[in-house]
Structure 1
Amino acid sequence: MDSQAVLDEVRQLLAAGVTQAQAARESGVSATSLSQLLKGTYPADPAAMVEKLAAWLAARRERMAASLPQAAGFVETATAKRIEAALAYAQMAADVAVIYGAAGVGKTMGVARYAATRPNVWVATMTPGHAGVTAALEEVALSLGLKDVPQSPARIHREIVARLRGTGGLVVVDEAQHLGVAALDALRSIHDAAGVGLALVGNDQVYGRMTGGSRAAYLDRLFSRIGKRLRLPAAAKEDIEAVAAAYGAAGGWREVREIAGRAGFGALRALAKTLRLAQMMAASAGEALTEAHVAAARRELEGV
């Protein structure tokens, strides 16, 4: 290993725009040690540090050589248009919409697109840790830009309502299946008090929790307020074709249909990941994308 060659390559990257802090962080060499190495003032045997830098450079070259093509980003599918319409209704009518169904059919992407193209739309994404009232309200407050909120649920509620009232806005709660019934009722209360739209987005559990026989009685107040229900049980044929076309593939390919049609496998999300890898495989071979590349990418990702 040529220490000088390694350090020269690091200097070239720094000159090209990689920051010294980034190089130190990614290589595992402290910023101070890296600075001393580059200046030739490192006080000890530099072999161990240079070895770390060499390993980092090699890994970086490998990533660059095998980098995946850029994701297609938002694809305007038929389902995306239905999601947009449901969200627009909830915002314009200051009503409640529930958008629920299978994973990977474009719910989160559709929500993000709507929020990016409309004023006064706030998205709060829930996790299993947000099941309780306080945690759920804190996440909504953060999405509104409210920081250092009090720990009292009642006071958080008041601050949220004060921020929302009169905005004509829409609060979108993604991954809402993680919320407990009390947290769902707290969101209903915000909707009532602030007079804004509310959209609950998630899997089938979102709707089931409001309609099942074991639900808390006070969820009837939320269920009775739902103005728009949009169930998305699976990726539509038109959606599959649109996503495939965005990556230069054909929606009619058997491999494409099978990937997008597998229940519980992430549908369009899994399809997009597979097509990105297939594009890389085709490009590496200097070939146009074919169904064979899609099949190879599928086997690679599924480990079969």
Structure 2
Amino acid sequence: MNTIIPQVLKVRDSEGLSNRQISKESGVGEAILSKLLNNKPYTGDTQTQLNKLETWLKTRNTQLEEFNNVLKEPDFLPLPTAQTIWKLMDMARTMRRWSMVYEGSGIGKTVTAEEYQRKHNNVWIVTASDFCKSARAILSELCDRVGVKTSGMTAARMNKALEDALKGSNGLIIIDEAQYLSDNVLNGLRILAEHKCGVFLLGNDVVRTRMSAVRSQVNMNPIWSRMIRPTCIKTASKGDIQNYMMAWGITDSEMHKTAWNIIPKTTGQIRTLADMIMLASSSASKNQEALTPKHLVAAHHYLMESIGA
């Protein structure tokens, strides 16, 4: 079994990885991986599996070398923008009304929703898309989140089962990427959630502009009458940027000012800032230099630079 298995075991134990994580990253089935790591008989093509693990080791080593000594991204942070979104979610859930936050990409809408879900019971997140925007698709996704079994159910039966499950839940339905939903689907959600739970929409500016269009006014008025403080957040605030950088261990005021001048002009906001910090700290580490604004600016230029054909 050559040297591959001992190397995998060494990486697993030293980095605290699970067999499941190694299986997902390497493409080796978890049951097969367990047999190989425990030196148990495996009747399949052993060499193919070992080749996958060898590739995984090489790829992992490359990744580790590239970002050796890079600053580590912090877990969820209650940044000022996140706190604003959190309060709106509390209002919608408590009052059983609708609310929405829209426009800015990378300001933390989705991660705040996920953290809110972790900290509260009966919060269900459905992400809409081109593949998940029909009434049946949204009902099916909601049933899955709520725990309603849908095998053999019609859309009408799913709707009825959801109504029963939502009653008395004091819950919150969060629709991420809500710009994909039609007026009819949004109104279906209105009827489904009425007097049972709150609904919170997250998305880009299309959510607000389409729902406010003249052609949508008749359909959308019943929803707007239930909407509390629809909020447009275009960019990360100075407080977001400063607190986020502090969480990375970056306390230098000049670094903060550099980020303030760059981040509000980007499309990725806090997400872009995270990428910039990782690249900047990698560059500083390789050159055995202290992290400075020049590294941050260079990282931004590298991320935004187009590669010609």
After superposition, the Cα gap between the structure-2 partners of 1:247 and 1:189, relative to the gap in structure 1 and judged at 3 Å, is same
Tell me the amino acid that sits aligned with residue 260 of structure 2: R
Give the Cα–Cα distance (whole angstroms) in 2 for the partners of residues 167 and 58 of structure 1.
Answer: 49
Picking from 94, 107, 110, the partner of 2:112 is 110
Q: Deviations over 1:224-273 (max 9, x none)?
A: 2112311112222221222222223347645412441125x111111122
After superposition, the Cα gap between the structure-2 partners of 1:39 and 1:214, relative to the gap in structure 1 and judged at 3 Å, is same
Partner of 2:245: 244
The root-mean-square deviation of aligned C-alpha atoms, in Å, is: 3.5
Q: Does 1:9 align with 2:7?
A: yes
Tell me the amino acid that sits aligned with residue 302 of structure 2: E
Tell me the amino acid that sits aligned with residue 263 of structure 2: A
Give the number of equivalent residue pairs. Answer: 300
Note the 1:61-76 alignment, pairs <5 A: 61-67=61-67, 69-76=71-78
Partner of 2:209: 208
Tell me the amino acid that sits aligned with residue 301 of structure 1: L
Picking from 252, 262, 265, the partner of 1:262 is 265
After superposition, the Cα gap between the structure-2 partners of 1:168 and 1:7, relative to the gap in structure 1 and judged at 3 Å, is closer
Q: Does 1:217 align with 2:215?
A: no
Tell me the amino acid that sits aligned with residue 105 of structure 2: A
The worse-fitting range, judged by mean Cα deviation, of 64-73 and 236-245 is 64-73
Give the Cα–Cα distance (whole angstroms) in 2 for the partners of residues 116 and 38 of structure 1.
Answer: 36
Unaligned runs of 5+ in 2: none
What displacement does 1:175 show? 1.2
After superposition, the Cα gap between the structure-2 partners of 1:149 and 1:94, relative to the gap in structure 1 and judged at 3 Å, is farther
Tell me the amino acid that sits aligned with residue 9 of structure 1: Q
Tell me the amino acid that sits aligned with residue 266 of structure 1: G
Question: Are the equivalent residues in 2 in contact too, given 1:134–1:151 (CA < 8 A)?
Answer: no
Question: Are the equivalent residues in 1 in contact too, given 2:72–2:248 (CA < 8 A)?
Answer: no
Among all aligned residue pairs of Structure 1 and Structure 2, give the percentage whose two residues are the same amino acid: 25
Picking from 82, 85, 100, the partner of 1:83 is 85
The worse-fitting range, judged by mean Cα deviation, of 127-136 and 158-167 is 127-136
Give the Cα–Cα distance (whole angstroms) in 1 for the partners of residues 133 and 186 of structure 2.
Answer: 9
Note the 1:150-299 alignment, pairs <5 A: 150-192=152-194, 194-215=195-216, 217-249=218-250, 250=253, 253=256, 255-263=258-266, 265-299=267-301
Unaligned runs of 5+ in 1: none
Partner of 1:122: 124
The worse-fitting range, judged by mean Cα deviation, of 214-223 and 87-96 is 214-223
TM-score after normalising by structure 2? 0.81
Q: What's the secondary structure of 2:242's corresponding residue? A: helix
Partner of 1:57: 57
Q: Deviations over 1:172-212 (max 9, x none)?
A: 111111111111111111121x5211111111111222210
Give the Cα–Cα distance (whole angstroms) in 2 for the partners of residues 14 and 239 of structure 1.
Answer: 36
TM-score after normalising by structure 1? 0.82
